[in-house]
Amino acid sequence: MSNISQETIAKAIDAVSDRVYDNTLANKGISQAASLWRVEDGTPEDFIEFVSANIMPDEQSRRILFNKLSTAFEAIYGASNQLTVDLLLPVHLSGGELTDIDYIFSGYSPSAHFSDDMYANKVAFITVLNFPSYSLAQKNELGKEWSREEWAYARMGDIFTNRVPAWVNQQVNSAYSSGENYIASYNIMMGHLLTEEGEKLFPEDMVLLSHWNLRDEIKSNYADVPNAFEKQQMIYKVMEHIACQSIPKEVINNTGYEWAPYSNKVYKDGKEVSLPSEGARRYQMILDIYKAGLNLDMFNTDLNTGIKRNFEGDVEISDADVEEMFISLITSEEIKQVSQIIKSRLGRELQPYDIWYDGFKSRSTISEDELTAKTRKLYPDAEAFEKGLPSMLRSLGFSRDDADYISSKIVVEGARGSGHAWGAVGRWEPSRLRTRIGDKGMDYKGYNIAVHEFGHNVEQTLSLYNVDHYMLRGVPNTAFTEALAFIFQKRDLKLLGYPQQVDENTTLDIFWGAYEIMGVSLVDMYAWRWLYDNPDATAEDLCDAVISIAKDVWNKYYEPILGTHDSPILAIYSHMVNSPMYLPNYPIGHIIEFQLEEHLAGLSDKEFAQEIKRIFTIGTLTPHIWMEEAVGSKVSTEPLIKAVSRIINK
């Protein structure tokens, strides 16, 4: 706790009041610096002396300090990012067998001591003193009139709002790393799944990572392929076992057994064997992250729960507002109407896994075998995909110079897991596109994901290298980078040379995709509320709670549309394990995606590229203000719901 009293704060304010250009700003900075000062930092008299010596008296000196801090922080952040990337290479990239030392280094955080060091050398106090932080409400109100420089100053103020010891940061990082490593190798050997009659529906060498590849395999079977319905049913059963943890542990990432998901029987060399289930390991990962985060709670005065830090701090939209926004869409009348369109197209009763219905995408009319043959020929390895980036951007309307420039800032690497985009932090390093590429080359599923990640990389490059202030780098939250990733992903066929346009089907696809992921996100959010209400829970308790929550959300919002009472399918997403509370970024991203698509509609390819460049260099304003500048309206589900209504009722 601070050793600085209100009396000392008043003395410090009085000591500088006659020589600062903005007393309101100075008072705010002094008060916030005082709240972070500890006994080890000095006496109250030391604090007053520190304030007098380090508060900037005029705008010019404050600007000079800002520029020096920006340069230093970029150097520190960028170097830490590069070191993190190098330490994670064994677990992130495909290659040799992992050993214990790889996992140890993957859990190490090079930046864990950054906060401790900056408080010890007083840089943190100098920053807070001259660039105080603003609450979310203040940013949304005052920020409407702020200049770009004022916004950059405000973001400088966000750096030191708490004082978390290095050991806490390291513990949190280690918990997240364990969850990531667990998920990265959670493969299902599809060629070893059996029907109750002992038949195999999938190719012998098909390996699908949970949940991403399982979900995408369900999507691919909306095309006219053999045993499509039976394959979808079997995958759904596999997902149930994973979510409920009734899956036999030894069949995960293991070709040594045959598994019949319906009866949950396991065979080895044709004979049934008894194997234990996975138990609650999946939920232990979540519990470990929660418990590590409790230590963060103690060092955050205002954002004193993981829920608040995620939504009010990172997303910059409260969890209550996010929940209200999601429910407004999933309870809309338009959901029922769109579901009837899907039912009519499928010619059958809807099933729980039809939350992943893929028929609104033009690719569903093209054989996946045809698409895979093309992607494998074009992209036999990561190097070929990297070489193809400039031509992809040119096909979207980017000039040759812009396409070459952006692509030069991106490196493509083969991923051990499903793939991801890892952004640059210093303006001297590349963003990284990690994608899974098999021995035969990149299949269509991998290509589709890679194009999504490419959208992330384009955002990461534009919003770092092309933004006017380093402190404004990036976008308001990850939902905004997801939005551009979705926009790229929906143009994947265009990048392969097929005719493809964004039309009414695109709107319906975004709408149905939002419906699906909003339910999953609510389960994630409610699970974390349950954790804070039940701090002594075991992994088994959490498992039961999450399944109960998933069933409740399903029964309330999805059973009336898709049927099947008590389906646990909404608990399948791997993000719940390795990135808790990240999931809401996807539906928010869908909402933003639609508003952007509506804004981009009718533009030529060249105009499309120009708008992407403009919009994704706005920087880290708050979400609503960013959207106002981008498309002229706040983040809202209303435009999407209205557009769907127009399509249905025209």
Distance set, CA 281 to CA 206, 210, 220, 252 (Å): 25, 15, 30, 12
Yes or no: say if 156 and 69 are a contact pair by the CB < 8 Å rule. Answer: yes
Backbone angles phi, psi at 203, to 5 degrees: -55, 145
Q: Please name the amino acid found at residue 277.
A: S
Q: Which two tokens stand for residue 311?
A: 């939504």
pLDDT at 364: 55
Distance of CA 461 to the CA centre of its chain: 17
Backbone angles phi, psi at 68, to 5 degrees: -70, -40
Q: CA–CA separation, 502 vs 597, rounded Å? A: 8
Distance of CA 302 to the CA centre of its chain: 24
**Using the 8-state DSSP alphabet, how is residue 248 labeled?**
B
Yes or no: say if 87 and 104 are a contact pair by the CB < 8 Å rule. Answer: no
pLDDT at 501: 63
Nearest one of 266, 258, 265, 202 to 235, comparing CA atoms: 202
Q: CA–CA separation, 543 vs 621, rounded Å? A: 38
Q: What is the pTM of this model?
A: 0.82
User: Please, which residues bridge with residue 434 across strands?
Assistant: 413, 420
Nearest one of 299, 35, 310 to 167, comparing CA atoms: 299
Q: CA–CA separation, 389 vs 412, rounded Å? A: 9
Q: What is the greatest pairwise CA distance in the chain?
A: 88
Q: CA–CA separation, 39 vs 5, rounded Å? A: 12
Counting every residue, how long is the chain?
Answer: 650
Q: CA–CA separation, 249 vs 400, rounded Å? A: 51
Q: Which residues of the chain have pLDDT under 70?
A: 362-365, 418, 500-502
pLDDT at 575: 95
Please give, one letter per residue, the 3-state secondary structure of 291-318: HHHHHHHHCCCCCCCHHHHHHHHHHCCC
Backbone angles phi, psi at 204, to 5 degrees: -55, -35
Yes or no: say if 188 and 210 are a contact pair by the CB < 8 Å rule. Answer: yes
Q: Please name the amino acid found at residue 136.
A: L
Q: Which residue has the tokens 């769907």?
A: 644
pLDDT at 362: 58
Q: What are the residues whose beta carbons fall under 8 Å from the beta carbon of 420, sequence distance 6 or more?
A: 92, 434, 453
Domain parsing of the chain, residue ranges: 6-161, 184-282, 303-359+501-649, 372-495
**Crossing angle (nearest 10°) for helices 319-330 and 585-600:** 60
pLDDT at 366: 79
3-state class of 206 per DSSP? coil
SS3 content of the chain, % helix, strand, coil (to 5): 65, 5, 30
Query: How is 618-637 classified by DSSP, letter by letter?
Result: S-S--HHHHHHHHHSS-S-S
